Every structure is written in C-alpha cells, then in structure tokens.
Amino acid sequence: MGTIVVVLFPILLTLLSNKLKEVRIKSYTRREQHFIPEPFKLTMKVSANLQQLKAIVGDSSDIIYRQFKLGMDNRSSAIVHIDGLVDQQLLQQSILHPLLHAKQSKSGLNFFKTESIKDYLMHHAIEVSDAEALTDSNKIVRKLLSGAVLLFVDGLDEVLVLSVKKWISRTVDEPITEALVRGPRLSFIENIRDNTALLRRMTTDPNLTFQDFEVGERSKRQLTIAYVKDIANDELLGNVRNRINTLDIDHAAESGYIEQLIEDDYLSIFPQVQSTERPDRVMGAILEGRIAILLDGSSYALIVPATFSMMVQSPEDYYERWIPMSLIRLLRYAAAFLSIFLPSFYIAFVSFHQGLIPTDLALAIAGTRVGVPFPTIIEALLMEVSIELLREAGLRLPRPVGQTVGLVGALIIGEAAVQAGLVSPIMVIVVAATAIASFVSPHYGAGIALRMLRFLAMFSAAFLGLYGISLFFVSLCVHAVKLRSFGVPYVTPGTLYSLSDWKDFFFRLPLFMMRNRPTEYFPKDRVRRKKY
C-alpha cells in the first residue's frame, strides 16, 4: 500500500498542477475596473477643476489645496499636493515663489492665449526639472497620489504635473539576510529610484536599461525591470513583460506578491524566482543575461530565470580565490543533501535496516534507545518540530532576545528530552547536525524548501525504509527536471551538454576560464571576455 501511495503521489500532483495552471491562466483576464472613478473633463476654470478633483479624492486632511494669483497678471491658480510626500522647501523655492513673483516679460507675450501661458510657465517660471502637462484625469489623480504637485491655472485646460517628491526613507545599510565576509556592504532600500541608482553606480555600460510599469488595479505602484539590452534575450524579455502586464492584483505590498504571481508552477516547493537584497548579485545576474525586477516600496529585487544551482551560490564565491570557494560550494551541496535526508536515513536504518549498521554502532544505538517509548518517526518529528518552533520564535522576537531563545532553548529542550527518556541522545545529534546543515543555504527561500522536503523524506523512510527514500528521491528528481523558470530548465546546467557551463556549477573555476556567458539564457552577446 505504501509503495502505491509513493508512486502515485507525483502523478496525481502533476495532473493537479496542470489543471490548476489552466484555472490560473483564465484568472489572468483582467477584471472590470468598477472602482475606478469616471474620468472628468478639464475646463478653463480652476474652481471647476478643483471641484471635480475633490469629488474623486475627497476632503482628506493630508491633501493640501493652495489657491493664489499669478504674479504677472493676477490670474487665479492653485496647487494641490499631499502633505508628507513632497519637499516643502523645494515646493516653496522652485514653484510657489517663482509663480507669485513672476513678471510679464518685455517680449509682449499674450498670456490669455493658452499656448503662451503654458509655455511661459514651463520654460521660464517653474524651476523644476521634472514637469509635464496632462489632460487625462486618471493619470493626474495617480500622479497626485504618488507625490506629484498639480498646478491649475485659469485659462488652461491642462494640468501641469511637477515632481518635487520627498518622503521618509532609510539609509543604505548592510544586507541582513545575505551577509558576507568579503564584498560590498550595500543593500537595496524601499525607494526604487535609490535602488536603480545603486545599480547604475556599479557599471558605466550605456546598454543598462530600466523599463517602468505600473502594477495594482486599485493602488498603482511602480515596477521596474533592469537588463542589458545587448545581452538579454528578446524572447525572455518579452516573456517577462507579458507576465507583468497580465498581473491582476489590487495592491502589490511587496515583491513577494510579484514573485508568486509570475512563477511558472505555484504548486512546486522550489522557489522559481530568485530574491535578493544585494545590488552586486543583481548586477552579476543581468550581466549574465538575466532580468531583474524591482518594486517601489520593497527592499528585495527579483531575478529571473532562476535555477537550483543559484540557490547554493553566493556572491562571495567570486570575491575569493577559486580553490577554497569551490570546496565551500561543494560543502553547500553536501549540506543541502544532509538537511533533507539525514533524519530519514536514521529512521530507515534504525527501523528497517539494522543489519546495514556496524555492529558496535548498532549496539550503541540500541543502548541509547532503551526506555524511549516512541518509534523513531515520532521521536524525529518531536525534535524537528521543536527545532522549527525555536527557529520561528527566534526570528519573530527582538534580535537580542531571539538569539538567546534559539541557543538556550535548543540546549534546554534537547537535554530535558534526553533526561526524560523521550528521545535518544543520537537523535539529538542527528537533529542538531541537520539544523546546522540547513543554515548553510545562502538563499532563505531555498532553505525553507529544503526544510519542508525533510519532513516528506522522513515519512517516506517511515513507510518503506531505504526503498521509500529512493522513491522519494526519484520523484523529487522527476519534478525538478520537469520544472521550468521562464522557459529555462530548473536543474540547469546539469541538463546541458555544454561543458563550458559546468565551470560554474559544482566547482567555481578560475575567472579567466569562464570566458562565455551561460548558454541557458541564450544571451545575444555570448562572449564575456574577449581575451584570456
């Protein structure tokens, strides 16, 4: 019975995944936007335009309406902005002061002509670099809510949109989740323009391109994709643009929302989009031919396509010499394997295959298990669940307290469980070694996936021993080989026949030997180094 369940489970999961993919594709059809207000038509009167604007945004206390007379001809005008989203000093010096003290020039411009007043304001009076004239009311409202200043002028059936944005933002700090011994101490922050500036500082390549999108049906947020236009593959770029354009969400609070909506197989346990807070990792990726996605308000960038090998790689692999970093990379692969299968192997050997254990070790294990009332699977589950609870508690508590709870809690629970006879000392050793191995993963999302797979492997071992582990491993390999990330096989470069891509797979060979870019992204410019 157990064999049938283990064999049929991946087949049923595949059928369910295909069916739900069809449902997901149908759900991409955009909803009717009932909540968007009816657009209004701008008039020549400031008072009428302000009344129509108030009907949409309401009388919110943080929206400032400032009416005044133009200095040159006492024409009724008004500026509208949101308090807290604009630079008040720049607003006063570069917008209000020039408008209030504007004088008619000697050129004899007729200010009662719409073209003349707009041209004068845009080219002579307003001292703001980012200024545009709009007539679309929906765009005008979105600009206002994004931090722009709206200028209404009598006799002008357009709105001048002026950008003097300024809001609270934290300074660029050291990455928290991707700490390195050697490397840049820079991380992304929540301001998207500061993040693009960090990337622009890292290269003088004129082909580095940023393309902006707006995501969110109710709350529009700026999303930017970054790529090098003479390296990134056009088909991959079109795929990314299409998925972003078909996003159907009210409000994208964080880049994790985008990650979940654009991934290929949302039933897979593996992360198919790489997230990072390190600009150097993003720059290295886009120079390989991949595409980065940045969302305003999020300090994490997304990189697509993603493969499993990227989840065990770190930017520090390229900052140190190749021999030690190759050994460390092999250590990460071994740690990933142990974090999944170490408890399951212990369960399988103790419960089913005692004859495969050396005699002295088997006697030692049997001696430590005297008095333990639970089978090995229950024993392992008790310890693994306790470790996961401590890990989660350490993350949620304040940092100084969390570290204390994680270390002291693990020692106390392990010692108390052994003294009470609930678990054996060897089980504590196995669980501790597994926990340490799971910490080695440089990617947090990949570490979570490995921890979840560990429980599936434990249940497979409890049902069928080593045979169950083998079936689970085969099913896992089949799923990984079938998985795609934006059309790229998830296990690449393991599925490619190009030996050049293996230079940065299990080992990291010297930099001068990695002459070409990875073939799995089909970059336009294949050669990374023209000469050795």
Q: How far apart are CA 473 and CA 61, in angstroms?
A: 60
**How many Cα neighbours within 13 Å face the side chain of 285?**
30
The answer to whether the beta carbons of residues 48 and 154 sit under 8 Å apart is no
**Which residues are within 8 A (CB) of 45 and not within 5 positions of it... i.e. 6 or more apart?**
154
Strand partners, 77: 68, 153
The answer to whether the beta carbons of residues 294 and 264 sit under 8 Å apart is no
Note the pLDDT of residue 145: 86
Note the pLDDT of residue 282: 93
The answer to whether the beta carbons of residues 250 and 217 sit under 8 Å apart is yes
Note the pLDDT of residue 498: 64
- CA triplet 199, 201, 207: central angle to 5 degrees? 65
Residue 496 CB-density burial (10 A; 0-12 exposed, 13-18 middle, 19+ buried)? middle
The answer to whether the beta carbons of residues 187 and 278 sit under 8 Å apart is yes
Q: How far apart are CA 95 and CA 316, in angstroms?
A: 48
Q: How far apart are CA 434 and CA 458, in angstroms?
A: 12
Note the pLDDT of residue 460: 92
Report pLDDT digits (tens) over 59-110.
788 888 999 888 777 888 899 999 888 888 888 888 888 888 876 554 545 5
- CA triplet 393, 417, 397: central angle to 5 degrees? 10
| Phi/psi at 4 (5° precision) | -60, -40
Note the pLDDT of residue 9: 53
Q: Given phi > 0 = left and psi -120 to 50 = alpha, else beta, which region is 43? A: beta
Find, among 130, 107, 121, the residue nearest to 156 by Cα: 121
Note the pLDDT of residue 303: 94
Q: How far apart are CA 456 and CA 472, in angstroms?
A: 8
Q: How far apart are CA 240 and CA 362, in angstroms?
A: 55
Q: Which residue numbers in the chain have pLDDT < 70? A: 1-39, 103-115, 399-411, 495-499, 529-532
Find, among 207, 352, 175, the residue nearest to 286 by Cα: 207
How many other C-beta atoms can be found within 10 angstroms of the C-beta atom of residue 15?
10
| Phi/psi at 337 (5° precision) | -65, -45
Find, among 324, 275, 318, the residue nearest to 295 by Cα: 275
- Give the DSSP per-residue string, 412-461: HHHHHHHHTTSS-HHHHHHHHHHHHHHTT-S-HHHHHHHHHHHHHHHHHH
**Which residues are within 8 A (CB) of 122 and not within 5 positions of it... i.e. 6 or more apart?**
131, 133, 160
SS3 226: strand
Q: Given phi > 0 = left and psi -120 to 50 = alpha, else beta, which region is 469? A: alpha
SS3 509: coil
**How many Cα neighbours within 13 Å face the side chain of 490?**
23
**Which residues are within 8 A (CB) of 95 and not within 5 positions of it... i.e. 6 or more apart?**
79, 126, 127, 128, 149, 151, 162, 164
Strand partners, 86: 165
**Which residues are within 8 A (CB) of 268 and not within 5 positions of it... i.e. 6 or more apart?**
17, 479, 483
Predicted model pTM: 0.82
